[in-house]
A and B are shown apart, each in its own frame.
Chain A
Amino acid sequence: MIGSNVHIGNVSKTFGDFVALDDVSIQIQKGEFFSLLGPSGCGKTTLLRIIAGFEEPASGAVLLDDRDVLPLLPNQRSVNTVFQNYALFPHLSVFENVAFPLRLHKQKEPLIRARVSDYLQLVELQDHANKKPSQLSGGQKQRVAIARALINEPSVLLLDEPLSALDAKLRQHMLIELDSIHDKIGITFIYVTHDQQEALSVSDRIAVMNKGMVLQIGTPQEIYEAPATDFVAKFIGETNLFEGIVRKIDGELLELETAEFGTICLTDSTPPAIGTRVSWTVRPEKLRISHDSAANGRSGLNTLQGRVDEPIYSGFQTKFYIKTAGGATMKVIKQHADWSDEGPEIAWKDEVYLSFSAKDVFLVERKQ
Chain B
Amino acid sequence: MRRGPGLAYASPSLLWLTFFFIAPLLIIVLYSFLTPGQRGGVDLPFTLNAYRAIANPSFGKVVVGTIAVALAATFFTLLIALPCGYYMARSSKQTLLLLLVIIPFWTNFLIRIYAWIAILGNEGFLNDLLRWLGLAEESVRFLYNRAAVTLVLVYTYLPYAILPLFSTIDKFDFSLLEAARDLGATKFMAIRKVLLPNIRAGIFTAFLFTFIPIFGAYAVPLLVGGTNSYMLGNLIADELTKSRNWPLASAISLVITLVTTIGVMLLLRFNGTHILEKKHEKA
Q: Which residues of A from 2 to 58 have beta carbons under 8 Å from B?
A: 52-54
User: Complex formed: what's the CA distance from A154 to B197 in Å?
Assistant: 27
A148 in contact with B178 (CB, 8 Å): no
Q: With an 8 A cutoff between CB atoms, is B183 at the interface?
A: yes
Other contacts beyond A80-B183, A89-B180: 12, CB < 8 A: A53-B182, A75-B186, A83-B179, A89-B176, A89-B194, A100-B180, A100-B193, A101-B183, A105-B184, A149-B182, A152-B183, A152-B184
User: Complex formed: what's the CA distance from A88 to B182 in Å?
Assistant: 12
Cβ contact of B175, chosen from A75, A83, A132, A149, cutoff 8 A: A83
A54 in contact with B178 (CB, 8 Å): yes
B185 in contact with A104 (CB, 8 Å): yes
Q: How many residues belonging to A are interface residues under a CB distance threshold of 8 Å?
A: 26
Q: Which residues of A from 74 to 113 have beta carbons under 8 Å from B?
A: 74-75, 79-81, 83, 85, 87-91, 100-101, 104-105
Given contacts A90-B198, A91-B197, A132-B281, contact A75 B185 (CB under 8 A): yes
- CB-CB under 8 A from B179, the residues of chain A are 81, 83, 87-89
Q: How many residues belonging to B are interface residues under a CB distance threshold of 8 Å?
A: 19
> Of all chain A residues, which has the CB nearest B174?
A87
- CB-CB under 8 A from B193, the residues of chain A are 100, 104
- CB-CB under 8 A from A132, the residues of chain B are 281
How many A-B contacts at CB < 8 Å in the complex?
62
Q: With an 8 A cutoff between CB atoms, is A134 at the interface?
A: yes
Give the dominant DSSP class at B's interface: helix
Question: How near does chain B come to A102, taking the closest CB pair, in angstroms?
Answer: 9
- CB-CB under 8 A from B197, the residues of chain A are 91
User: Complex formed: what's the CA distance from A80 to B182 in Å?
Assistant: 6
Chain B window 153-181, contacts with chain A (Cβ cutoff 8 Å), 1 for yes, 0 for no = 00000000000000000000101101111
Given contacts A87-B173, A104-B189, contact A75 B281 (CB under 8 A): no
- CB-CB under 8 A from A73, the residues of chain B are 181, 186
Chain A window 256-271, contacts with chain B (Cβ cutoff 8 Å), 1 for yes, 0 for no = 0000000000000000
- CB-CB under 8 A from A81, the residues of chain B are 179, 182
User: Complex formed: what's the CA distance from A148 to B185 in Å?
Assistant: 13
User: Complex formed: what's the CA distance from A105 to B186 in Å?
Assistant: 11
Q: Which of A53, A79, A100 has the most CB of B within 10 A?
A: A100
- CB-CB under 8 A from A91, the residues of chain B are 197-198
B281 in contact with A101 (CB, 8 Å): no
Chain B window 187-224, contacts with chain A (Cβ cutoff 8 Å), 1 for yes, 0 for no = 00100011001100000000000000000000000000
11 sample A-B contacts, Cβ–Cβ < 8 Å, listed by A number? A74-B181, A74-B182, A75-B181, A75-B185, A83-B179, A87-B179, A101-B184, A132-B281, A134-B282, A148-B183, A152-B183
